[in-house]
Amino acid sequence: MHSIKELLEFGRLELKDTSEIPNKESRILLAHLLDKDLMWLITHDEEKVTCKKAYQELLERLKSHEPIEYITNKASFYNEEFYVDARVLIPRPETEILVDKVLFTCKELGTPSIVEIGCGSGIISIMLALLLPKAKIKAVDISLSALEVALINAKKFGLEDRIEFIQSDLLENIEEKSFDILVSNPPYIADNESLHVKLSYEPSNALFGGVVGDELLKKIIDLFLQRDIKILACEMGYDQKEKISEYLKEYNLQAEFYQDLAGLDRGFVLKKEQ
């Protein structure tokens, strides 16, 4: 048997060469293994437990660069905790800005109708449903396994009856032609771009957007123009502003681009003239 304090020191030493935050990640893994919160570890550091072997297995997974979110099946987004696994992309902090943009555009809409393309774990649609209780939301994804994860999260927040999850390639299986808002955080990385080893654990169909990388973004813009949709809010790659701007010029349109917290171009909002 080992004390909590001893195991945490063991974990810190195991992670010191591969983790930028070995203290924090060793605590997260042990708390997950024991099904306790971080405060419990602090207040029970002398308590003896018999889980070193299982703990070491988790540490080895993290040392091999498997994302800690997949190991613990937990990811934070917009101050809420969501279930994630290897079937879906791990939520990124910059996507919270996309949610903010949609909320801002909904200020003057009483009961906004929203459709999300590529919902993945469901985080965007779920947060919008929580923050816009009168919104009508459809969330689509081409991956049935991703939709299974999204439904897990929707049930966690009691929203399974408020969000309609639909398997669809873009809007192919969506009969409605009219929405107030189309929102999407689509794959936008070029197919041949080399990725950090951690990204190799994430589903490729949620990362790669085509040979150039912006093909899906352009398809989403086309769908926005073809249907009766008032507003498009979309995330994009940090280096795609110029290409998207040029594409929009073909339609005499101009988007409002926004940056992430690092000051990188990260997305755009496009409105049709009323």
The tally of domains found in the chain comes to 2
What pLDDT is recorded for position 51?
93
In this model, does residue 18 exceed pLDDT 60? yes
Which structural domain, as residue segments, surrounds residue 202?
Answer: 86-271
3-class secondary-structure state, position 77: strand
Q: State what percent of residues in the chain have pLDDT above 70.
A: 90
Per the structure block, which two tokens stand in for 188?
Answer: 């936008």
Percent of the chain past pLDDT 90, that is, above it, reads 80
Looking at residue 214, its pLDDT comes to 84
> Is the pLDDT score of 106 beyond 90?
no
Instruction: Give the pLDDT score at 194.
Output: 53
Helical axes 95-105 vs 123-131, angle rounded to 10°: 40
Considering the entire predicted model, what is its pTM? 0.90
Asked if 150 and 47 sit in the same domain, the reply is no
- Residues 44 and 117 both lie in one domain: no
Which tokens in the block code for residue 175?
Answer: 């009969």
Task: Tell me if 76 is assigned to some domain.
Answer: no
What sign does the CA torsion over 71, 158, 96, 141 have?
Answer: positive
Model confidence pLDDT, tens digit, residues 163-219: 999 999 999 999 898 999 999 998 756 555 555 555 555 565 555 555 446 888 999
**Contacts for 69-72 with beta carbons within 8 Å, 24 or more apart?**
70/201, 71/29, 71/32, 72/28, 72/29, 72/32
- Looking at residue 21, its amino acid is I
* 202 and 257 co-located in one domain: yes
Residue 215: its pLDDT value, please?
A: 86
Q: How far is 253 from 77, CA to CA, in rounded Å?
A: 32
- 31, 7 Cβ separation under 8 angstroms: no
Within this chain, do residues 26 and 147 fall inside the same structural domain, yes or no?
no
Mean pLDDT of 89-111: 91
Highest mean pLDDT among 102-106, 150-154, 253-257: 150-154
pLDDT tens digits, 40-88: 998 998 999 999 999 999 999 999 999 999 999 999 999 999 999 999 9
146: CATH: 3.40.50.150
Give the pLDDT of residue 272. 85
My answer on whether 33 and 146 are in the same domain is: no
Are residues 21 and 102 both part of a single domain?
no
Query: Does 252 lie in the same domain as 222?
Result: yes
Question: Which pLDDT band, with edges at 50, 70 and 90, does 108 fall under?
Answer: confident
Q: Radius of gyration over alpha carbons of the chain, in Å?
A: 21
Q: How many CB atoms lie within 10 A of CB 107?
A: 7
178 and 56 fall within a common domain: no
Tell me if residue 250 falls in helix, strand or coil. Answer: coil
